[in-house]
Amino acid sequence: MKKITALIVTLLVLTGMTSMAFAETVTLSYSNFFPPTHIQSKLADEWCKEVEARTGGKVKINYYPGGTLTKAKQTYDGVTEGISDIGMSALAYSRGRFPVMAAVDLPMGYTSGAQATMVANAVFDEFKPRELRDVHPLFFHAHGPGLLFTTEKPVTTLEELKGQKIRATGNSAKLVKALGGTPVAQSMSTCYQSLQKGVVDGSMHPVESNKGWKLAEVVKFGTESFPVAYTTTFFVVMNKDKWNELDADTQKIITQLNKEFAVKHGQAWDESDAAGKAFFMEKGGKFVSLSQDEAARWVEAALPVMEDYKKEVAKKKVDGGKVVDFILDTMTQ
């Protein structure tokens, strides 16, 4: 009888230990629209592996790149609805939904991805916008200077841009319109085909996309429109309930990791820009510059984009002027 009792106790203990082991392991899903070969996708995969390593295996993440779980435009809602636990995509794909963060994408004249990434996270930390209250934001990153690329004709004046159909999203679409072009809203994943088939005459995108998305194969000219260079802010967010289920130590580990990887993503954008420029030129692409006077014209033409932003977000009780001033101050630090 004693042996049977001892055996039962042993089994109960082992069962309890096994249950605890399973309870301590959390498996999450991560959806990303970037293709698996893109550096931003590789970094996301690296982040997943690092989370598992630093938490001692308590958190494991199944990674789904290339829009296999949710497409670019559905990623944010996919996280809130629990289709994925974590997601990365561009805020600009949900135009008008993120009024505070949208200021980051304005044509501020960014000089690097590291700078734009720093600005994006600083804006979130400063204003803690309610527009993101239905998720737990992990971090943000943003690409280097967004420039104009065209397929058939070089553009060095506003007159040459007039009437051309340019793929652009969010505030970059407003910039295209202000400069005289016709914006066509499309995600980056559809850009190559649209350029190749002549659906659009060009695209507003960072230099890195010429290699990262192979766009150098279909665009021939790049306009060095740095005075009105914009960026696109990318979010990495987590389902709020899933985040709250994590213990405090795990949350602390991931929060620290987020700070490190925000910097890595920003630096990667700049490294990718250099590679994208080389690839563009290898494919026969040519950069054209704006004269000093023409650059001033582009800056003046873009000013209404800033003013329109302030008016639009005021309807949502957002002080756009305050956000814009904060960004400009941050950029000079």
Domain ranges in the chain are 25-96+113-141+232-273, 146-231+275-331
Query: In 33-102, where do the E strands start and end?
Result: 59-64, 86-90
Which H or E run contains 85? none
Residue 295 has pLDDT above 90, yes or no: yes
Task: For the chain, give the percent of residues with pLDDT over 90.
Answer: 86
Average pLDDT over residues 91-113: 93
**Does 24 or 146 have the greater pLDDT score?**
146
Integer CA distances (angstroms), 21 to 18, 27, 217, 243, 248, in order: 5, 13, 51, 19, 18
Question: What pLDDT is recorded for position 3?
Answer: 52
**DSSP 8-state secondary structure symbol assigned to residue 238:** E
Q: What is the pLDDT of residues 40-64, one digit of tens each?
A: 999 999 999 999 999 999 999 999 9
Distance of CA 122 to the CA centre of its chain: 15
Instruction: Answer yes or no: is pLDDT of 230 > 50.
Output: yes
CATH class of 146-231+275-331: alpha beta
The two structure tokens encoding residue 170: 């969010």
* Per-residue pLDDT band at 19 (split at 50, 70, 90): very low
pLDDT tens sequence across 303-329:
999 999 999 999 999 999 999 999 999
pLDDT on residue 289 = 96
Q: Order of strands, edge to edge, in the sheet holding 135-142?
A: 59-64, 26-32, 86-90, 233-239, 135-142
> How many CA atoms lie less than 13 Å away from 291 in the CB half-sphere?
5
Q: Which helix (H) or strand (E) holds 311?
A: helix 292-314
Do 25-96+113-141+232-273 and 146-231+275-331 show the same overall fold? yes
Which DSSP state fits 330? Answer: H
pLDDT above 70: residue 23: no
Give the pTM. 0.84
Length of the chain in residues, anyone? Answer: 333
Q: May I ask the CATH class of domain 25-96+113-141+232-273?
A: alpha beta
Q: How far apart are the C-alpha atoms of 93 and 104, rounded to whole Å? A: 14
State whether residue 191 is helix, strand or coil: helix
Q: For 246-289, how does the pLDDT look when each residue is reduced to its tens digit (9 = 90+)?
A: 999 999 999 999 999 999 999 999 999 999 999 999 999 999 99
